[in-house]
Amino acid sequence: MRHTFYRESLALFTDLYELTMAYGYWKMGMLEQEAVFHLTFRKWPFKGGYAIAAGLQTLVDVLLDFHFEPSDISYLQSLKDSQNKPLFEKPFLEYLERLSFSCDIDALPEGSLVFPYEPLIRIKGPILEAQIVESVVLNIINFQTLIATKAARVCQAAGEDVVVEFGMRRAQGIDGAISASRASFIGGCESTSHVLAGKLFDIPLKGTQAHSWIMAFENELEAFEAFAEAMPHQCVFLIDTYDTLQGARNAVRIADRLQGDDFVFLGVRLDSGDLAYLSIEVRKILDEAGYTKARIMASNELDEYLIRDLKQQGAAITIWGVGTNLVTGKDQPALDGVYKLTAIKNKQGLWEDKIKISEQTAKVTIPGFLQVRRFFHEGHLVGDVIFDDRSQPSGAIEMVGIADENDRRFMQPDTSYRDLLIPIFRKGKLCSELPSLRQIQQKAKKELELLPSSMKRFLNPQVYFVGLERQVHDKRLRLIEKMRRR
Amino acid sequence: MRHTFYRESLALFTDLYELTMAYGYWKMGMLEQEAVFHLTFRKWPFKGGYAIAAGLQTLVDVLLDFHFEPSDISYLQSLKDSQNKPLFEKPFLEYLERLSFSCDIDALPEGSLVFPYEPLIRIKGPILEAQIVESVVLNIINFQTLIATKAARVCQAAGEDVVVEFGMRRAQGIDGAISASRASFIGGCESTSHVLAGKLFDIPLKGTQAHSWIMAFENELEAFEAFAEAMPHQCVFLIDTYDTLQGARNAVRIADRLQGDDFVFLGVRLDSGDLAYLSIEVRKILDEAGYTKARIMASNELDEYLIRDLKQQGAAITIWGVGTNLVTGKDQPALDGVYKLTAIKNKQGLWEDKIKISEQTAKVTIPGFLQVRRFFHEGHLVGDVIFDDRSQPSGAIEMVGIADENDRRFMQPDTSYRDLLIPIFRKGKLCSELPSLRQIQQKAKKELELLPSSMKRFLNPQVYFVGLERQVHDKRLRLIEKMRRR
């Protein structure tokens, strides 16, 4: 048995119903019928005021290589239905074996600010293909967007300090760690402890020694000295194995002893205890010994709230190692993204808008070919409108609040704006040069700077305005009415 | 850029400090010094009374293939220290390139009940190797153990009903989904929606159609009929796209129409709304039409608490589709497992026990070569004792409660028992035949049956007794005292 990381294709990384529906479309001769799907989420992650889009590059990598391997086909051929007959007919499997992904994709670039109800991804193409990728699209975009957002919050709490992502040991599986390291970097982390993520994504690495290193020697002094001898330029001493303040004094003793040699005392790390009190006392010890440039790093179940509290208490920490709570998005371990059909071409070749109704209006989908326009005023974001890409708005734009229908606003024609979804695939071919991870990180940083700080509060932030363009709103209402009348 | 699932080796799936420490041991000539590490966790997951060990097979797969690829070595060679000099010397990297894993591993079989402070994995061997695998060991065992435990709780709530794992679209990355499907099956799920997990692990698959299928047709009746035509033996109709009760009546109409044909009406699925009320009403519609065998499946943000509540309200659901809250372990998305050095061979060739002290005694590690003995009485579990494998206890065993030192118990010599950690690797070679996933699932089920139901309550369960064998306890106290005296 081999695990996924040995595989070449992820076509089977999907829910069975994508394949049974694909089979249904194939059987009904509908496989080529064109359709449009959108990925959106509904809940503000972590009860905050924004999210950072992430995961597109990973998705592109998967889709560029989308194909069923012979062993996938054999597996599908072995599946049985409730009457112990083959679940799929052989010609369908032969069709799958030849299938490659040929849809159009428009997407929000990674690092963009994104808000509930806005499409992050739009996929248009043969319904069989646009449907079959649903699960993998959701898996990748939901998770990386969640973690990029969490990282942005953590980095916001840390302000000018450095945040290092430390999470792989408690991440949710191997890719839970790899994708989290990538998304954390997008959200603003300076580096990671995770070597494979460093290799794959060119993220800077940080890391020195664990308690076990200290314990492997007769005493702490010996352990520090041995480390300094082995890696004289990398000395961040872990000082809490036995007694943190004594540990700080031992670090100073070694630094004193090696001064003048080819030795650089970068700092110390605390991993337990009262981080506010201990960091202040350790700072005194370092400063009194003249090591004012040696930095104090801290780790231990940190998150944005703890970092903010520690800073308010005057903690002398300037490097924050954040692990579990960051890479698992602890207080909300999943983004509630959904992937919904919003239009389909009928047999007459005309596009029909589609809607999924629900008892709660907020859960009703938005029909059409959606695009998002973001408005700017004097260097700040002022609001977004979701409109139909087939009828570009001109003149003043009337917007109906998505969260509150009674919140109606007009945007004057001279307001500056940017349309957010950009073409990524055309007929299955990549048509856009994707930015590097560092560029994505820079983009996220700049976008966050444009968002008013009242909207970046951790709890109860001011709500960023997202509206439906008036025509889309009216069409949605008509479709709801039509559906309910049935 | 390629993602991890294209790779052959996971040697770089590690924290940088494992490599800097390895480099340190290599530089100090300590790389061959033997050491023992243990993986344990401290907090009861989900505030419950048990955990189910999982992930060993995945870990074995990774370790059997443990090696650095040339591209890994090139990457490590490119890393720079704070003075912009190479972080690692070339001879060390050449050493890594030749390195294969040669340690001994003893482990709790997958599917075993496990409790806080008990070792799940024990690794003994050259300190460089035993240390370097820390991060990957933790990542795999922490996550799968967490999810197997969550699944056991969900399945416990469902009782005799079927639980289907539905989580991949909101799992934490690709392996977050794959490992979660595997662990969920261990914990008792009957099947998964996740096709790749089905292929990799031979887990039965479930899935029929999404709302988009229903919306792709003119109306619900057409959609049901088309599906029945394509897959007459797989008909579980999704009935909540427009109006759930009307959906149930439409399902019945199609079933009536196709009766006598090669058609099997398996049931219906609800995915929104008041699942208690709706399932009861839908049951009436199905029963009145004579479809007493058609089953009702439900999904929508379910967890063990919601399933229990719905059953208490008389919900007529017998198949539960559980996704996000299961595969992310929503209320506790990480197990707090740690991997600690507990003994090291000194230069004289004698083993020295090691301890990591902490301000909280509960966080102090347990020194030695640990083994767990589980005692049985009249078909029930009565308690576990952690002892040192180098001095097998004989006669009556005195045990000191790990959670409460004043809780001292004696186990009579004639009590039946089993020692839990079994040899998995000897000198890097697999020495044990690992069970199939179905056997592991069976084991978990049987073990849970042996645990008193008061210990399986979701909240505030009775605490299962885990003690330290008296000598281990005394040795631990002596070492704490020695450390604090320094």
Q: How many residue pairs from chains A and B have C-beta atoms closer than 8 A?
A: 393
The rounded distance, in Å, linking the Cα atoms of A31 and B410 is 70
Top residue of A7, A9, A14, A16 to mutate, by most chain B CBs within 10 Å, is A16
CA terminus-to-terminus distance, chain B: 51
Question: CB distance B170–A335 less than 8 Å?
Answer: yes
**CA nearest B53: which of B104, B106, B90, B100?**
B106
Question: CB distance B180–A172 less than 8 Å?
Answer: yes
Question: CB distance B335–A170 less than 8 Å?
Answer: yes
Q: For residue B210, list chain A residues with Cβ-Cβ distance below 8 A.
A: 17-18, 21, 131, 134
- The predicted pLDDT at position A363 comes to 77
Most distant CA atoms of chain A, gap in Å: 85
Tens of pLDDT, residues B1-59:
333 344 557 899 999 999 999 999 999 999 889 999 999 999 999 999 999 999 999 99
Q: Nearest 5°: CA angle at B464, between B390 and B335? A: 80
Question: CB distance A19–B195 less than 8 Å?
Answer: yes
Distances (CA, A) of A292 to A65, A159, A224, A284: 52, 20, 19, 9
Please provide the size of chain A in residues.
486
**CA nearest B224: which of B269, B194, B260, B162?**
B269
Burial class (CB in 10 A: 0-12, 13-18, 19+), B323: buried
Tokens of A142: 């939901």
Q: Say whether B261 sits in a helix, a strand or coil.
A: coil
What percent of chain B shows pLDDT beyond 90?
A: 88
The rounded distance, in Å, linking the Cα atoms of A477 and A355 is 10
Interface of B with A in 305-324 (CB under 8 A): 324
Q: For residue A58, list chain B residues with Cβ-Cβ distance below 8 A.
A: 3
β-strands B397-401, A121-126 pairing = unpaired
- Three-state SS string over chain A comes to CCCHHHCCCCCCCCEHHHHHHHHHHHHCCCCCCEEEEEEECCCCHHHCCCEECCCHHHHHHHHHCCCCCHHHHHHHHHCECCCCCECCCHHHHHHHHHCCCCCEEEECCCCCEECCCCCCEEEEEEHHHHHHCHHHHHHHHHHHHHHHHHHHHHHHHHCCCEEEECCHHHCCHHHHHHHHHHHHHHHCCCEECEHHHHHHHCCCECCCCCHHHHHCCCCHHHHHHHHHHHCCCCEEEECCCCCHHHHHHHHHHHHHHHCCCCCCEEEEEECCCCHHHHHHHHHHHHHHCCCCCCEEEECCCCCHHHHHHHHHCCCCCCEEEECHHHHCCCCCCCCCCEEEEEEEECCCCCEEECCCCCCCHHHCCCCCCEEEEEEEECCEEEEEEEEECCCCCCCCEEEEECCCCCCEEEECCCCEEEECCEEEEECCEECCCCCCHHHHHHHHHHHHHHCCHHHCCCCCCCCCCEEEEHHHHHHHHHHHHHHHHC
The rounded distance, in Å, linking the Cα atoms of B460 and B471 is 31
Q: Is B132's Cβ below 8 Å from some Cβ in A?
A: no
- The predicted pLDDT at position A475 comes to 95
The rounded distance, in Å, linking the Cα atoms of B248 and B245 is 5
Q: Smallest Cβ distance to A6: which of B8, B194, B196? A: B8
Q: Report the complex ipTM.
A: 0.96
Do residues B206 and A205 make contact, with C-beta atoms less than 8 angstroms apart?
Answer: no
Tens of pLDDT, residues A259-296:
887 999 999 999 999 999 999 999 999 999 999 999 99
Q: Smallest Cβ distance to A354: which of B175, B179, B215? A: B215
Q: Is A215's Cβ below 8 Å from some Cβ in B?
A: yes
**CA nearest B301: which of B285, B282, B325, B318?**
B325
Q: For residue A272, list chain B residues with Cβ-Cβ distance below 8 A.
A: 358-359, 363
Q: Is A242's Cβ below 8 Å from some Cβ in B?
A: yes
Do residues A423 and A165 make contact, with C-beta atoms less than 8 angstroms apart?
Answer: no
The rounded distance, in Å, linking the Cα atoms of A57 and A60 is 5
Tens of pLDDT, residues B202-252:
999 999 899 999 999 999 999 999 999 999 999 999 999 989 999 999 999
Q: What is the pLDDT along chain B (486 residues), one digit of tens a residue?
A: 333 344 557 899 999 999 999 999 999 999 889 999 999 999 999 999 999 999 999 999 889 889 999 999 999 999 999 999 999 999 999 999 999 999 999 999 999 999 999 999 999 999 999 999 999 999 999 999 999 999 999 999 999 999 999 999 999 999 999 999 999 999 999 999 999 999 989 999 999 899 999 999 999 999 999 999 999 999 999 999 989 999 999 999 999 999 887 999 999 999 999 999 999 999 999 999 999 999 999 999 999 999 999 999 999 999 999 999 999 999 999 999 999 999 999 989 999 999 988 766 777 899 999 999 999 998 889 999 999 999 888 889 999 999 888 999 999 989 999 999 999 999 999 999 999 999 999 999 999 999 999 999 998 999 999 999 999 999 999 998 988 877
DSSP conformational letter for B194:
B
Question: CB distance A37–B212 less than 8 Å?
Answer: yes
* Segments of chain A scoring below 70 in pLDDT: 1-8, 359-360
* Min distance A43 CA to chain B CA atoms (Å): 14
Question: CB distance A483–B242 less than 8 Å?
Answer: yes
Q: For residue A264, list chain B residues with Cβ-Cβ distance below 8 A.
A: 82-83
> SS3 helix, strand, coil % of chain B, rounded to 5?
40, 20, 40
* Min distance B418 CA to chain A CA atoms (Å): 29
- The predicted pLDDT at position B266 comes to 97
Do residues B394 and B401 make contact, with C-beta atoms less than 8 angstroms apart?
Answer: no
Interface of B with A in 362-391 (CB under 8 A): 363
